[in-house]
Structure 1
């Protein structure tokens, strides 16, 4: 179970992703991020941990220009990661990412999957372009960051008890990716999930 400090840090990580998105090109097209943490210092009564987001690259055939296709893509990715008899390029990519994380940060914990994408939202009855970052953490908490284009500050909602009728369409797919990654062999051989 994530501590309240970890939840705040994860929210801060998503805010950092948003502020860096234009510089690194995240969200155009949709970008998937695997978020993990690692111990920075074990000194003191509570160890200090740092969070990182790692881009999970999509095959060019899966790059979406329409955010409506993102929920289906997330489910397809989760299935491809959990089908042991059918090795896929995405399983190989995840293996490589997780092995690199483990090699440099053996005590890393899987915290969340996030999707960064452009979307159309309604503000005061008018359609507006916006950047969305949706995430699901290891406890099932849902994070929704929305930054309307031209606005200086994003809106961030952290939902501890998400209502299935009021969550982003990406939530089930992100949760499925989280579950698939937590069961993935290179991840759970040492250390563990949050």
Structure 2
């Protein structure tokens, strides 16, 4: 179970990803973030951990092959990770990322997957362009960050329970997290 401090740090990681995306501008392809942590010291003195993220940019063409877009792509990526013989470019990239993480620090833990993408919000009033970052952590907690175009600050909600109003990316991110945990165990041989 993630501690309050870890949840707070993970939320800060998502805010930092939004700030970075803001410098790149609107209309960039969606990006997946693999959020993980690792021990800060190897001598075993103080059990502090450092949280980091690895970006995995998605190809815009992959989203156009399925009418459901990003949610369908997330589910497909998760399904591909369950098939060791599926040599997709994303699986090769994930193998490399996990291998580098495990080689650098065997006690690395996968904590969450997030998707950063542009969207159109239609809930209240006129449709408005927005940047979204949806994430799910290993406890099943949902993070929903929304920045309306032209607004200075994003709005971040952290949900401990699965209530109504779950974003369409949530099932795919959850499946990707579960598949990555299994995949990490298969590749690294350790606990995720």
State if a TM-score over 0.5 links the two structures: yes
How many residues end up aligned between the 2 structures? 188
Deviation per CA, 1:157-184, whole angstroms, max 9, x where unpaired?
0001122x31110000000000000000
The question of whether the paired residues in 1 share the 8 Å contact of 2:35 and 2:112 is answered with yes
The question of whether the paired residues in 2 share the 8 Å contact of 1:135 and 1:142 is answered with yes
1:151–1:64 distance in 2 versus 1, CA, 3 Å: farther
1:43 aligns with 2:45: yes
1:169 aligns with 2:171: no
The question of whether the paired residues in 2 share the 8 Å contact of 1:110 and 1:182 is answered with yes
Question: Residue 144 of structure 1: SS of its match in structure 2?
Answer: strand
**Counterpart residue number, 1:146:** 146
Question: Residue 166 of structure 1: SS of its match in structure 2?
Answer: coil
Please tell me the root mean square deviation across aligned C-alpha atoms, in Å: 2.3
**Counterpart residue number, 1:186:** 187
- Aligned-pair distance for 1:65? 11
Q: Distance between the aligned counterparts of 1:159 and 1:171, measured in 2?
A: 12
The question of whether the paired residues in 1 share the 8 Å contact of 2:29 and 2:57 is answered with no
- Aligned-pair distance for 1:127? 1.4
1:27–1:83 distance in 2 versus 1, CA, 3 Å: farther
- Aligned-pair distance for 1:53? 1.0
**Counterpart residue number, 2:120:** 120
Q: Distance between the aligned counterparts of 1:83 and 1:26, measured in 2?
A: 35
The question of whether the paired residues in 2 share the 8 Å contact of 1:30 and 1:64 is answered with no
- TM-score, scaled relative to structure 2: 0.89
Question: Residue 152 of structure 2: SS of its match in structure 1?
Answer: coil
**Counterpart residue number, 1:158:** 158
Alignment of 1:69-80 (within 5 A): 69-80=69-80
- Aligned-pair distance for 1:155? 0.5
**Counterpart residue number, 1:81:** 81
Give the unaligned 5+ runs of structure 2: none
- Aligned-pair distance for 1:89? 2.4
- TM-score, scaled relative to structure 1: 0.88
Q: Distance between the aligned counterparts of 1:140 and 1:131, measured in 2?
A: 22
Q: Distance between the aligned counterparts of 2:127 and 2:69, measured in 1?
A: 19
The question of whether the paired residues in 2 share the 8 Å contact of 1:143 and 1:158 is answered with yes
1:23–1:105 distance in 2 versus 1, CA, 3 Å: farther
Give the unaligned 5+ runs of structure 1: none
